[in-house]
C-alpha cells in the first residue's frame, strides 16, 4: 500500500525499504533437448531429397527422442505379398457397390413377389372355374396354399430388405459417405 515504506516513520526521518526475499535461483539447464534443438543436431530428410530413410516424429516416439534413445526404422517393402492384393476400390466405389447390390436384391424380391401374385391370381381363377370338387380340393387348393405361404415369406423378406437398405444408407453416412455419392442410385 505504501510501496514498501514504513508507515510509522515520521517526516524528516529516513525511511528504509522493507527487505524483500532474494529471487529464486535460476533453473538448472536440463540435459533433455526440446524438439527444435534435437532437429538442429539431426540431418532431417525432405520429401524431395531422394533418400529413402526418413524420421517420422510422432507423440509416441517424441519422449524417446528427447531422452537420447535412438529409434529404429523399418523399411516397408514396396511390392505387396503375392497372396495379399490390395483392393483397387475407392470408398466411393465400395459404398456404391453395396447400395447397388442391395437395390438389386430388393428389385429381385419385388419381381418374385409380382410373379407370385400373378400365379396366385391364376390359381384362384382356376379354382373357381374347376367343376370337379376332387381336383379343386386335392390339387389346386394345395398349390394355392403353397403359393400363399411363399408370397408371405417373400413379403417379409422384402420388408427386411427395405429396412436393411435404410440401415445401409445410415451406416454409409456414419462412415463418411458424401450425400452426392448415391444421388443417381437412390430415388
Q: What's the pLDDT at 51?
A: 55
d(CA 89, CA 4): 77
Residue-wise pLDDT for 3-38, tens only, equals: 555 555 555 555 555 567 776 666 665 566 676 776
Q: What's the pLDDT at 27?
A: 61
Q: Inform me whether the pLDDT recorded for 99 exceeds 90.
A: yes
Closest by CA position to 145, among listed 162, 123, 173? 123
Percentage with pLDDT > 90 across the chain: 37
Q: Inform me whether the pLDDT recorded for 124 exceeds 90.
A: yes
CB atoms closer than 10 angstroms to residue 182: 20
The per-residue DSSP string of 10-46 comes to PTTSPP-PPP-PPPPPPPPPPSS--HHHHHHHS----
Name residues whose C-beta falls within 8 Å of residue 99's C-beta, 6 or more positions apart in sequence.
165, 168, 169, 172, 182, 185, 186
Record the pTM.
0.51
Q: What's the pLDDT at 47?
A: 52
Span 44-49, average pLDDT: 54
Amino acid at each position: 500500500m505504501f510501496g514498501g515504506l514504513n508507515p510509522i516513520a515520521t517526516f524528516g526521518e529516513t525511511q528504509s525499504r522493507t527487505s524483500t526475499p532474494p529471487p529464486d535461483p535460476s533453473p538448472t539447464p536440463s540435459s533433455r533437448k526440446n524438439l527444435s534443438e534435437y532437429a538442429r543436431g539431426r540431418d532431417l530428410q525432405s520429401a524431395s531429397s531422394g533418400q529413402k530413410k526418413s524420421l517420422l516424429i510422432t507423440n509416441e516416439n517424441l519422449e524417446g527422442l528427447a531422452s537420447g534413445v535412438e529409434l529404429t526404422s523399418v523399411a516397408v517393402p514396396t511390392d505387396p505379398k503375392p497372396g495379399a492384393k490390395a483392393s483397387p476400390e475407392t470408398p466411393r466405389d465400395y459404398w456404391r457397390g453395396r447400395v447397388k447390390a442391395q437395390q438389386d436384391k430388393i428389385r429381385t424380391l419385388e419381381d418374385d413377389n409380382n410373379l407370385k401374385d400373378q400365379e396366385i391370381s391364376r390359381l384362384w381363377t382356376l379354382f373357381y372355374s374347376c367343376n370337379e370338387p376332387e381336383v379343386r380340393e386335392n390339387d389346386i387348393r394345395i398349390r394355392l396354399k403353397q403359393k400363399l405361404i411363399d408370397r408371405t415369406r417373400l413379403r417379409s423378406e422384402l420388408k427386411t430388405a427395405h429396412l436393411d437398405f435404410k440401415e445401409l444408407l445410415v451406416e454409409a453416412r456414419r462412415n463418411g459417405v458424401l450425400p452426392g455419392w448415391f444421388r443417381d442410385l437412390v430415388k
